[in-house]
């Protein structure tokens, strides 16, 4: 009987050990991984959207109860939607203006630049700032006037409300009404597709987007600005003259889900995603 009692006691102890391993500490980890739930809607910049969408996939995998909807429409839409509450988080590929910053908070998740692009077959290797202004204002209408082939220039411009347009205008000291455009496009990919389909076209787009496409065989040429190569490296070094922050924009106090997702987008754990899309990671406080 004594031997049976000992065996029974040993069996009970063996059963308790794994239960102890699944005790308070295990429950805390499980609770933390499942605590976040709900849906976030993000709208805005077509430059920021692909980056956020990739990070969102990881975040949803880590938090099965969360769904994240990422929509484009331009930085203007993202800022307006964040301000009005139509979106939980806006996306903007420029710094907030003073009146916007008075009402909204910006959370930088990466950096990018804006560069002029032409088709890879275009013999032009560079343009001065004055030449770019002359092309976009209609003073120069043929490539031969700036050292290229005797072909008409197709000027591709961004639509109103796009941050890339605002950054371009600010650097070249132009007003929107100064531009003489042949084609008006929305997002970066539309601009790239237009240039790829028309070797006489000129456009300006996100350096990160263009560099990523060139690495994948798209026939583009990124022109330097003020003698500085249009590369992610020059943006990261602070050398490229047309740089900009990629922002997540919010209004008011953040919910737990908003804060967790923004922290994820700003963390070192997603720097590989940032680099894969040819943007520049930002350092954040530990």
Which pLDDT value is given to residue 285? 55
Mean pLDDT score of the chain, rounded to an integer? Answer: 89
Of the listed ranges 150-154, 170-174, 278-282, the least confidently predicted one is 278-282
- The pLDDT tens digits for 205-220 are 999 999 999 999 999 9
Q: Are 250 and 82 in contact (CB under 8 A)?
A: yes
Domain at 112-236, CATH class: alpha beta
Residue-range domain boundaries for the chain: 37-111+245-276, 112-236
Find tokens 């409300």 and name the residue: 161
CATH superfamily of 37-111+245-276: Periplasmic binding protein-like II (3.40.190.10)
Which pLDDT value is given to residue 283? 78
Find tokens 């391993």 and name the residue: 21
- Equal CATH topology for 37-111+245-276 and 112-236: yes
> What is the torsional sign of CA 52, 224, 137, 213?
negative
**Which band of pLDDT confidence, cut at 50, 70 and 90, is reported for residue 185?**
very high
Q: Which of 216, 186, 228 is nearest to 278 (CA)?
A: 216
- The pLDDT tens digits for 266-278 are 999 999 999 999 8
- The pLDDT tens digits for 221-254 are 999 999 999 999 999 999 999 999 999 999 999 9
Q: Are 231 and 275 in contact (CB under 8 A)?
A: no
């Amino acid at each position: 009987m004594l031997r049976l009692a000992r065996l029974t006691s040993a069996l009970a102890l063996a059963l308790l050990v794994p239960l102890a391993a699944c005790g308070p500490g295990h429950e805390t980890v499980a609770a933390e991984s499942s605590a976040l739930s709900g849906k976030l809607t993000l709208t805005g910049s077509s430059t920021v959207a692909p980056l956020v969408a990739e990070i969102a996939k990881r975040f949803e995998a880590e938090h099965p109860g969360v769904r994240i909807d990422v929509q484009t429409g331009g930085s203007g839409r993202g800022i307006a939607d964040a301000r009005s509450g139509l979106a939980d988080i806006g996306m903007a590929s420029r710094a907030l203006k003073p009146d916007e910053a008075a009402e909204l908070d910006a959370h930088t998740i990466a950096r990018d630049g804006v560069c002029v692009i032409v088709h890879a077959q275009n013999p032009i290797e560079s343009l001065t700032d004055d030449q770019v202004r002359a092309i976009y204002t209609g003073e120069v209408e043929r490539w031969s006037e700036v050292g290229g082939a005797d072909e008409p220039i197709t000027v591709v411009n961004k639509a109103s409300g796009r941050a890339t347009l605002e950054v371009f205008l600010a650097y070249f000291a132009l007003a929107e009404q100064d531009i003489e455009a042949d084609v008006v496009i929305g997002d970066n990919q539309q601009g790239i597709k237009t240039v790829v389909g028309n070797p006489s076209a000129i456009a300006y787009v996100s350096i990160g987007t263009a560099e990523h496409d060139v690495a994948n065989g798209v026939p583009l040429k990124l022109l330097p600005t003020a003698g500085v190569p249009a590369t992610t490296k020059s943006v990261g070094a602070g050398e490229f003259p047309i740089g900009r922050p990629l922002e997540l924009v919010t209004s008011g106090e953040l919910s737990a889900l908003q804060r967790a997702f923004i922290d994820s987008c700003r963390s070192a754990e997603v720097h590989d995603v940032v680099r894969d899309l040819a943007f520049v990671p930002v350092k954040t406080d530990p």
